[in-house]
């Protein structure tokens, strides 16, 4: 196995380029949800497409984020031999860090809200990450505060990845997610819908679309401060990520927890795609947009991000038996 800490740029570059799990990240399918469109009563002129990010090897869109952060850190000399990558995460980015850490021999320490689903906790353990759990009632903000307490100016043995403030997060989506969607829609998408957690997906892909054409950018957040949509932030009451630019989205849609859950369940039972609650929130917002366009007699090609799969939420209220 190639050791990423051998100390030579050539060896590091080789590890990043030639490790199988790294090469498996990205180039995910974009699928049109025709049966969902029919269920919503939308005319044929309005399309809803889903970017299937759960087919990444770590199971979520955060594989792109973690890889970009690690690549940038190594290139800048910020992640050195013997250092441990540390960050706060609601789960998916942490899983991606842990996966890449295992493949590239990078020690990983994560601060995760105690409210994270049991499936996420067990996945992190499977990859061998060291996990510290923060107050379950403080969500991702509590994890951020705790990781900051753990890191001091003298803690040179840690690389603080800081996904909420690291521009490499948004760069991942400017250089991969955005271009992929643009190519897959032949540049004809009209609306892009992305949930707001770290906000990196909307910031990166959104800027790419701004530079390419006229695309309406819609951010999705929980409708209330207390919610059950893992990984998402209610920005008015949360620690706002440093990478977030409020001038970029055309609008931000608030989605109730049950609305997000219902959309995820509907997708599973109508289209056969098994997704998580953040994807459900994106689909709920996409359905609103489609209905608005239908009332106005306008056409549209809406792309929603499928953040992760539903199997990470089997122990949560999302998939409680009827």
- CA dist 306 and 314 (Å) reads 17
pLDDT tens digits for range 213-264: 899 999 999 999 999 998 899 999 999 999 999 999 999 999 999 999 999 9
Strand partners, 60: 308
- CA dist 306 and 48 (Å) reads 12
- CA dist 190 and 208 (Å) reads 14
Asked if the model's pLDDT at residue 14 lies above 80, the reply is no
- CA dist 230 and 276 (Å) reads 9
Give the residue ranges of DSSP H helices in the chain.
Answer: 9-18, 20-23, 34-40, 62-76, 92-104, 118-127, 139-150, 167-172, 178-184, 200-212, 257-270, 277-296
Q: Which residues are CB-contacts of 216 (< 8 A; sequence separation ≥ 6)?
A: 190, 191, 192, 250, 251
Running DSSP on this structure, what letter comes out for residue 309?
B
Q: What is the reported pLDDT for 216?
A: 98
Of the candidates 288, 277, 292, the one whose C-alpha atom is nearest the C-alpha of residue 119 is 277
Predicted structure pTM score: 0.92
Q: What is the reported pLDDT for 2?
A: 42
Q: What is the mean pLDDT of the chain?
A: 92
CA angle 170, 163, 302 (to 5 degrees): 40
More confident position, 322 or 85: 85
More confident position, 14 or 75: 75
Q: Which residue in 51, 60, 62, 117 is the catalytic one? A: 62
- Is residue 55 within 8 A of residue 26, CB to CB? The reply is no
Strand partners, 132: 111
278 classed as catalytic? yes
62 classed as catalytic? yes
Contacts 24+ apart (CB under 8 A), 12-18: 12/74, 15/104, 16/70, 16/71, 16/74, 16/104
Task: Give all domains of the chain, ordered by start, each with its CATH number.
Answer: 20-58+173-319 (3.40.50.1100), 61-160 (3.40.50.1100)
Pairing of strands 30-32, 46-52: antiparallel
Strand partners, 52: 306
Give percent of the chain above pLDDT 70: 93
| φ/ψ (deg, to 5) at 27 | 55, 45
Q: What is the reported pLDDT for 48?
A: 98
Q: Which residue in 115, 134, 277, 278 is the catalytic one? A: 278
- CA dist 299 and 79 (Å) reads 48
- Two structure tokens written together for 144: 């951020």
- Two structure tokens written together for 133: 């759990």
């Amino acid at each position: 196995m190639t050791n990423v800490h051998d100390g030579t740029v050539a060896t590091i570059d080789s590890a990043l380029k030639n490790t199988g799990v790294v090469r498996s990240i990205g180039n995910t399918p974009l699928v049109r949800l025709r049966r969902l469109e029919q269920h919503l009563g939308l005319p044929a002129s309005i399309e809803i497409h889903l970017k299937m990010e759960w087919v990444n090897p770590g199971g979520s869109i955060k594989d792109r984020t973690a890889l970009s952060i690690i690549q940038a850190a190594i290139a800048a000399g910020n992640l050195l031999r013997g250092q441990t990558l540390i960050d706060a995460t609601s789960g998916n980015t942490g899983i991606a860090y842990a996966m890449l850490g295992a493949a590239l021999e990078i020690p990983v320490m994560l601060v995760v809200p105690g409210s994270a689903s049991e499936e996420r906790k067990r996945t992190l353990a499977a990859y061998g990450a060291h996990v510290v759990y923060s107050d379950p009632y403080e969500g991702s903000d509590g994890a951020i505060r705790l990781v900051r307490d753990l890191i001091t100016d003298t803690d040179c043995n840690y690389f603080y990845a800081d996904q909420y403030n690291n521009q490499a997060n948004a760069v991942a989506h400017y250089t991969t997610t955005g271009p992929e969607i643009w190519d897959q829609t032949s540049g004809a998408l009209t609306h892009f819908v992305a949930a707001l957690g770290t906000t990196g997906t909307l910031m990166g892909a959104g800027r790419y679309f701004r530079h390419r054409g006229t695309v309406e950018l819609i951010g999705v957040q929980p409708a209330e401060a207390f919610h059950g949509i893992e990984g998402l932030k209610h920005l008015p009451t949360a620690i706002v990520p440093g990478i977030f630019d409020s001038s970029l989205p055309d609008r931000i849609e608030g989605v109730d927890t049950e609305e997000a859950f219902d959309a995820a369940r509907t997708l599973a039972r109508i289209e056969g795609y098994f997704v998580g609650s953040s994807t459900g929130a994106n689909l709920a917002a996409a359905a609103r947009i489609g209905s608005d366009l239908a009332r106005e007699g306008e056409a549209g090609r809406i792309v929603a991000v499928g953040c992760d799969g539903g199997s990470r939420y089997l122990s949560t209220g999302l998939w409680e038996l009827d």
